[in-house]
Amino acid sequence: MNPNLKVNIGKLNLKNPVLVASGTFGYAEEFKDFIDLKKLGAIVTKTITLNPRKGNPPPRTCETPAGMLNSIGLENPGIEGFLKEKLPFLKKLGVPIIVSIASEGGQEEFITLAKRLDKIKEISAIELNISCPNIKESARLISQDAKTTYKVVKAARSVTRKTLITKLSPNVTDIAEIALAAERAGSDAVSLVNTLAGMSINVKTGKPKIAAIAGGLSGPAIRPVAVRMVWEVYQKIKIPVIGMGGIIDTESALEFLIAGASAVSIGTANFINPRSTAEIISGLRDYIIQNKISDINELVGSLRV
């Protein structure tokens, strides 16, 4: 039996449902010694902004129970730097490339970035990072307000025909409401969850463990929160969900698929075991063969209640 692992996200046809979460995989080159990058379903880049960003002062990360906090602050070479220095390596791989973008200046910058990327044929899709907790130019994240989410997604939608994915924050009262707004505005998929806002203190010094005081929590610690949100969103929208939050092995990837994710992203696990993605891809194949499932899509949202 040759089971089907292919999934569709918008216009993308992925050979398997395993992606990498933005910001945890650099621009893929960092992982070339560890895995065959060609085997990935898709690669999501570290978030790009219009202008280069130096990022936040260190310390930028700390470990927490079964997780970690980060406040990198979207350090990146800017769109032109990305296209010149990072894209040449990525486009040789023959794997769908999803470019994550964020704005330092409202929806105008999303439009500029989406327009620029729309012209580049090697880029398969755009992920709108409207949920990074580490660049708060205003008091709120875009993804913390349904109306603003709708406006930004609509604006990006109007300038690109590429697959558009909207990345959502878990730091909200009702994530399904935000997902619905993204869907109505024309997003082809939603990805969730970004990191949970968190904080950790060194009690010997009385100081925060990361310089930015608060950061984003990721890793297995947040998995149950993320699975619940995927389930919630899956029931309310028709576009595919890309699920993520603390996936470290095949079993945790399966949880997300069963909860309603059409694909999954591996994040923090890449830091711990750079081979995680490859191991999960083969683990999923083994699982569906053993359980006599002919198509992985049958698992999506198959939660028995």
Which residues here bind other proteins, judged by CB under 8 A? 23-26, 30-31, 33-34, 46, 54-55, 57-63, 65-68, 70, 72, 75, 219-220, 268, 270-275
| Smallest separation (angstroms) from other proteins to the CB of 32 | 9
| Smallest separation (angstroms) from other proteins to the CB of 152 | 25
Nearer to other proteins, 10 or 26 (CB): 26
> One of 79, 132, 182, 300 is an active-site residue; which one?
132
Provide the CB-side half-sphere exposure for 3 (13 A, CA).
21
Nearer to other proteins, 219 or 240 (CB): 219
| Smallest separation (angstroms) from other proteins to the CB of 196 | 15
| Smallest separation (angstroms) from other proteins to the CB of 13 | 27
Nearer to other proteins, 241 or 247 (CB): 247
Rounded distance between C-alpha atoms, residue 198 and residue 293, angstroms: 39
Whether the CB-CB separation of 228 and 206 falls below 8 Å is answered with no
Rounded distance between C-alpha atoms, residue 82 and residue 292, angstroms: 43
| Rg of the chain, C-alpha, whole Å | 18
Nearer to other proteins, 155 or 211 (CB): 211
Nearer to other proteins, 19 or 156 (CB): 19
**Residue 97 CA, distance from chain mean position:** 13
| Smallest separation (angstroms) from other proteins to the CB of 133 | 15
Nearer to other proteins, 70 or 166 (CB): 70
| Smallest separation (angstroms) from other proteins to the CB of 198 | 14
Q: Is residue 62 among the annotated active site residues? A: no
Please, what is the Cα angle at 192 between 118 and 265, to 5 degrees? 75
Q: In the numeric block, which tokens belong to residue 284?
A: 């999923």
Q: Which residues are catalytic?
A: 132
